[in-house]
Structure 1
């Protein structure tokens, strides 16, 4: 998805993991995905640069859909759709 497409998404759940070091954002993402319906969208806010690598890899392994990342000033927004 493009940045513009990601920016208009309406997540079911937003998790603010900014200021949390690895593996905190990944653990928060795992927890959040279990709290939304199948097909639901989770938005993770993270200032930990390793999240840009870890979250997409985890999503793929777990069968979820990594939609993309939007870079902001000092943090990023990572979007994952829960597996059907």
Structure 2
């Protein structure tokens, strides 16, 4: 994603749901407010689960993008 600096990124490829989501939750909890966090997932279920959790947790969903045959999900910790 252009113009966005990712502060923390986790590679959860090969992990099945809820693994990638749990990794994102762990990263968000450890992050500072304002940090941009990304998780890379090869699990198709993440395309629904991760954006839904980000919205529910009241964080900022910056988007998802293809990444080496998987998907990178990017969010900003806002609280």
TM over 0.5, shorter chain: yes
Q: Across the two proteins, how many residue pairs are aligned to each other?
A: 79
In the TM superposition, residue 8 of structure 1 has moved relative to its aligned partner by: 4.0
Contact 2:40 2:67 in 1 (8 A): no
TM-align CA RMSD: 1.1
Q: Which has the higher strand share?
A: 2
**CA distance in 1 between partners of 2:67 and 2:24 (Å):** 18
TM-score, normalisation: structure 2: 0.92
Query: Where in structure 2 are there 5+ consecutive unaligned residues?
Result: none
**Structure 1 or 2: larger helix share?**
1
Runs of 4+ in structure 1 over 6 Å off: none
Superimposed CA distance per residue, residues 8-48 of structure 1 (whole angstroms, 9 cap, x where no aligned partner)? 42211001000000000000000000121111100111100
TM-score between the two structures when normalised by the length of structure 1 = 0.87
